[in-house]
Structure 1
């Protein structure tokens, strides 16, 4: 709604978000607020342009809210309240989404009864039927998902909004104003905030709870830890058969002899798993860094779940990392494990590894990353079409959901999964433009990789059905920002919707973006919901980033505190398995955002 006041034209809605200071506690210093309410006068926009801007931003926020609610994710309270005010409705707490459940034990023995439902994928989306006869009659359960036409309409609107001149101008000026406002606040109140921090007992940057929201399981240990474990395993298992070289069984000692290596001579430098300047703008070389001393055999042995020893070494390393996190008390992590979609047996094998080795820590939750490498599998004839890849990724999860006792290990493993992550090298572009005329997944037999939007739609549709099937109440909205530095409209929408952003400055510095050009401080000053993440252990990231990017302790403390807010590990996470199906939860998904292999890669 646009009204006229003594200061000019004013928009009464979510664009004019005013974050008020909470009431000061007794004895705490009062921090003066910095405010400026005449935004229209400041930004100097015409009434016609202002109306276009406000209507566009309002519809974009409603799209965001719609997709969050459909997939049972939590929508932030503040924008939800403003949207209800614009619509003349009363805000309710239920508008933000589902609540949370109590904490889930590691490996519970009680499983729900099998429902005997029939699971079938059609046109790239899983359908649930009461039985095989219902499937023959085409009578699926009522688990709706957004139609392709509606999804394309929403996406096209957002693309058009991003390109609109008045919206770009307004968003740019508004973001600049927010950044300037932060700097003024910092100049006026920095000393008072530091004084208040010093008077706060037993709480500083290192003993507030932090969650690494983007870390690969294969890189969750540091170089020294991996080197120490390799030497220790050699001392204990030198004569143990640990590797199968094309039918030839090799002991650990024979494997190192074949590589012309001896663990005693290895150093952190010779291990060569640290990304340096030689990996800058070279994603291919970065992936090679997962091979210790450049040997894929050692990666298969120490950093894989499927090998001659059943992934025992990898599980032991992860459990040691989990033990370190528990000892640190305040550090948590969300490691990624990969499901490629090459075979339907990937899920059962991963779940068996997880259960057999008891890879559980109260300070860890897990995410499943799905690399967008269909073109690689299709070129080698591993997959007949893209629909088979989707089927391998989702059908086993649905089957374990409706028949948990028939898939015990996978059903238990799913209780520890907090979401899905779509990963790949974003510098590679697909020549395909996703539209309503695009081939269905079963018809996509080309060796070309589908576009990112194609992946997103079918992953979102299946996860939406899955979440509604499980009636999740533990879902948090964890979204990741990709390349938004050059898009002021998207930046401003991320601010208004308070979409969480996981950023990896250390990884960026070695891959795409130097420290001096990293937008993390700029995003933080503008009020975007940024948090630190890493491909390496958290200790390196927090200490280095604090020195390089956040010289003041207050902003760095704020970054640390944001991790738990949008991770998959709430204070009491996970319903007990003994509850009925409709009360058991699983996943969250990133419907309107992009993720990368190492958090936010801003170019």
Structure 2
């Protein structure tokens, strides 16, 4: 089944600074400055803890809100507005479900509007029967109508902003949320509007994955990087006249304005209170759902033939290739190569060529005497909050020579040992059949030749596996390259990373190996220690990349914007050519400032870690409403930033965020051959996860992965793009239909609260007036 072809907007929709409320911009700057200040005063105990009471915590504020609510109860106007909300709700809710569900208005109202007595609803023949939790009475209790309207407007505005950036970059945006946003604009959503990434399907059995036949012709386009973004021109003459092709080139000022709106929301009192209450309600609601329906869900799963947790598809959505093997695997491989190839020249050091035996002699060690302890690649207590010590664990026995020989692609032996290790890991995945991985390979931006070198390594050693897709990680280490005078400015780093990609897209005939390799690359990642402090406040006044010549590292938001901007233009160009597109999947929210998560909300298709969402109810609620996928790695976090028992994965899962489990670095954190299963086993034991819980996490991992549409249809069911029970094939996912119905109904419930308070004629930033709570 082919994905629908959607005509994309060819221009980036710009917003002028003059159109923005000055108070929003100032509040956003205060939030940014406050977040930067907090980076210097980390509290490891309370870092991920939100107080149980209302986020607006001062007694004076509470008293003022209470008096305001009492006064409101006697307000005739307020009473009329509450009634109008209920009227609108009863009239419009039945239209917010897909017509194919054959849902009656009465049942839709009972599901989405918990305003009536529990026995007042009827259920149609086609709807799932399970015990639903409904709340009767006034759903605005505890928050004034004015605050409710304010929170709804700001949240809807943020969702519109994310939808805009997602559509422009061919990132995913959930159908249900899109339907409600169209409803807020008094429009109807059509399936033709849906934007999806294009991924190359896995070659069929007997097909050559490295074939160079049928490569597209040269377009003879001209390319130029301007203000950190690659521009595409029809020819040299168009370049001379500065007339780029009609592609949506991002605008820094517009991005800064959109970023400021979401930043200002974090400190908006009514929005914080509303989000905090809704998140607490969803957690409590899931607890009741589980208590009432756990046995019914289990009964559903028991009726499914030939499907259980072990044979549902799982994708390791966040794993680094240089640590994709466990420590015992690496040790055995080192010992095997020494036994069979001791006299092979493997390293050139200061002009001298060394055999494997000579390398170990210079290190004064015998591989046969090595143990996993002496190999010293495993993270432990000593790496907690010490990212510098963790990075050193990539050097076996602390020797950079062994890392160069065994874990690099561009060494004297052309990365042969590294390729062999990865192929052994891939073989184990293929043997398991139901496990897939998305290893990260590094492109640093030191030189434009890095891409060609990596593609040659991939094809020379035939590293492709049907159970692997590849993600390119870009470390945020401009400051290191600048200090060594490798690059003159930040623009050169961007040029080295992205210009070769544009050249391979425009003229694949001249870049055949890159063209083949890029078919199996599904996305880009931005990696490094997030807790690194940056004094620069990102804004529309920030220096252009060509002007960033200082030795200071740019802030996280700066990195993300320019990576997103180039990926977005590249995806639009590749879509024109009928080539696969890429997702942006940065590490985000593991440590550092909360502003990282704001930047990723705009730019990322999905993120890795997301721990800091616990610190911001507003962002956590937004990530839920937009169903932003989050790849979480509790064992990795346990050794680096957060004790396992404090990890919010279970809490996020209960509330309905789209979370998956991943390994991050099996070499450093895991003990068994099947690192992903180890991750699931520990999580299931420690948090007492049910089979339905673990299978739901596994289903999420396939959804957020870079597997092709055809593969997802095979693994999840032909209708996987639909939300709710309709999109779930229990025979393939082993996720109960009751659970899927509960998730869908809860999301519809939360979105309907926002849409009914939103006036479609007031969606511009000018209508948003924030009330900060500090």
TM-based fold match above 0.5: yes
Native 8 Å contact 1:100 1:573 kept in 2? no
Distance 2:514 2:580 in 1: 20
Counterpart in the other structure of 2:255: 151
| Cα deviation code 1:316-356 (max 9, x no counterpart) | 11111111111111000110001111111111111111111
Per-residue deviation at 1:3?
5.7
Indicate which of 681, 688, 696 corresponds to 1:558: 696
Structure 1 residues 500 and 327: CA distance shift in structure 2, 3 A: same
Distance 1:33 1:513 in 2: 35
Per-residue deviation at 1:188?
1.2
Counterpart in the other structure of 1:82: 180
Per-residue deviation at 1:66?
0.5
Counterpart in the other structure of 2:330: 226
Counterpart in the other structure of 1:435: 539
Counterpart in the other structure of 1:362: 466
Structure 1 residues 417 and 390: CA distance shift in structure 2, 3 A: same
Counterpart in the other structure of 1:36: 135
Structure 1 residues 245 and 473: CA distance shift in structure 2, 3 A: closer
Counterpart in the other structure of 1:246: 350
Distance 2:302 2:296 in 1: 10
Indicate which of 699, 704, 707 corresponds to 1:569: 707
Counterpart in the other structure of 1:490: 619
Native 8 Å contact 2:386 2:640 kept in 1? yes
Distance 2:368 2:307 in 1: 42
Distance 1:231 1:55 in 2: 62
Per-residue deviation at 1:104?
4.3
Per-residue deviation at 1:29?
9.6
Distance 1:146 1:291 in 2: 40
Counterpart in the other structure of 1:108: 211
Structure 1 residues 6 and 148: CA distance shift in structure 2, 3 A: closer
Counterpart in the other structure of 2:446: 342
| Cα deviation code 1:57-104 (max 9, x no counterpart) | 111000011001111122111101111112111111123213756624
Structure 1 residues 337 and 269: CA distance shift in structure 2, 3 A: same
Per-residue deviation at 1:266?
1.3
1:301 paired to 2:429:
no
Which runs of 5 or more residues in structure 2 are unaligned? 1-79, 97-108, 115-122, 204-208, 584-604, 667-674, 713-774
Per-residue deviation at 1:483?
1.3
Counterpart in the other structure of 1:57: 155
SS at match of 2:316: strand
Native 8 Å contact 2:611 2:647 kept in 1? no
Indicate which of 587, 606, 612 corresponds to 1:478: 606
Native 8 Å contact 1:182 1:525 kept in 2? yes
Per-residue deviation at 1:571?
4.5
Deviates more, 1:163-172 or 1:456-465: 456-465
Q: How high is the TM-score relative to the length of structure 2? A: 0.70
1:318 paired to 2:456:
no
Per-residue deviation at 1:399?
0.3
Q: What aligned pairs does 1:453-472 form with structure 2 within 5 A after superposition?
A: 453-471=557-575
Distance 2:393 2:199 in 1: 39
Structure 1 residues 345 and 10: CA distance shift in structure 2, 3 A: same
Larger helix share, 1 or 2:
2
Give aligned pairs, total.
568
Distance 2:230 2:581 in 1: 22
Deviates more, 1:125-134 or 1:388-397: 125-134
Distance 2:378 2:644 in 1: 17
| Cα deviation code 1:444-487 (max 9, x no counterpart) | 10000111111111111111100000116666633343511110
Native 8 Å contact 2:219 2:507 kept in 1? yes
Deviates more, 1:483-492 or 1:542-551: 542-551
Distance 2:680 2:168 in 1: 35
Structure 1 residues 573 and 556: CA distance shift in structure 2, 3 A: closer
Counterpart in the other structure of 1:507: 636
Distance 1:9 1:163 in 2: 32
Q: What aligned pairs does 1:180-329 form with structure 2 within 5 A after superposition?
A: 180-329=284-433
Native 8 Å contact 2:155 2:622 kept in 1? yes
Which runs of 5 or more residues in structure 1 are unaligned? 575-603
Native 8 Å contact 1:98 1:473 kept in 2? no
Per-residue deviation at 1:133?
2.3
Counterpart in the other structure of 1:4: 82
Q: How high is the TM-score relative to the length of structure 1? A: 0.90
Native 8 Å contact 2:211 2:516 kept in 1? yes
Indicate which of 140, 148, 151 corresponds to 2:244: 140
Per-residue deviation at 1:161?
0.8
Per-residue deviation at 1:166?
0.4
Distance 2:623 2:548 in 1: 33
Per-residue deviation at 1:198?
2.8
Distance 2:458 2:170 in 1: 27
Counterpart in the other structure of 1:578: none
